[in-house]
Chains A and B, each alone.
Chain A
Amino acid sequence: DGGITQSPKYLFRKEGQNVTLSCEQNLNHDAMYWYRQDPGQGLRLIYYSQIVNDFQKGDIAEGYSVSREKKESFPLTVTSAQKNPTAFYLCASSNLAGHNEQFFGPGTRLTVL
């Protein structure tokens, strides 16, 4: 089945630790995105990448880092510099040709204790 996978679904970390969230897609999409969702709020863009080895900051990039070494993978690291990391993190991908329809993974809920 083609799709986007995120792992793990739930993640717990102690304050001050870096943590990396996984995102993999087998849709052969060029672009990948990371969003953060807080309770009762919409999605805010953290980082996005349109091509391997290149990525751009979104609206709330501070305290996060990404890499895009392979087309199918776009891991997100939540660093200790992120002041309020507890949130639901969503990864998405899209084909650059066409109408930018994005396909989403199931999400990772990160809780920092």
Chain B
Amino acid sequence: GNSVTQMEGPVTLSEEAFLTINCTYTATGYPSLFWYVQYPGEGLQLLLKATKADDKGSNKGFEATYRKETTSFHLEKGSVQVSDSAVYFCAPTGGGNKLTFGTGTQLKVEL
């Protein structure tokens, strides 16, 4: 089955720092790839997606590029804010219309 490996957290950054959260996956076929964000005590919100190789998903200053050759979908943001503090999940699609979630990476942004 599919699997996802995300970098372990927590990742602690100062405001305006550059963010990278690594994500690699194993999957059969050509999955769609998603990043979700979860704020404390809430459900997951879709942050961005990419549906084919070399696609770049972007939203709210976050970006991720679908790299088929390295099976990666790393999340980046040029300048983080305190309000970006949350847990981020990488998720490729799998068989049966399901998603496979990584363990999540907690981001803490400090002033």
Partners in one complex: yes
Residues of A within 8 A of B34 (CB): 101
B-binding segment of A43-51, A61-69, A77-85: A43-51
* Contacts between the two chains (Cβ within 8 Å), count: 56
Q: B49 contacts A99, CB within 8 Å?
A: yes
How far is A109 from B102 in the complex, measured between Cα atoms in Å? 21
Given contacts A94-B97, A100-B97, contact A43 B46 (CB under 8 A): no
Q: List 16 A-B contacts (CB under 8 A).
A: A4-B43, A6-B43, A31-B97, A42-B89, A42-B102, A45-B98, A56-B96, A90-B43, A96-B97, A99-B51, A99-B93, A100-B93, A101-B32, A102-B46, A104-B44, A106-B43
How far is A36 from B46 in the complex, measured between Cα atoms in Å? 18
Within 8 A of A (CB), among B52-74: none
Q: B32 contacts A99, CB within 8 Å?
A: yes
Interface magnitude class on chain B: 20 to 34
Interface magnitude class on chain A: 20 to 34
Cβ 8 A contact of B42, one of A45, A94, A107: A107
Given contacts A99-B51, A103-B46, A106-B43, contact A43 B97 (CB under 8 A): no
Residues of A within 8 A of B36 (CB): 104
From A90, which residue of chain B is reached at the shortest CB distance?
B43
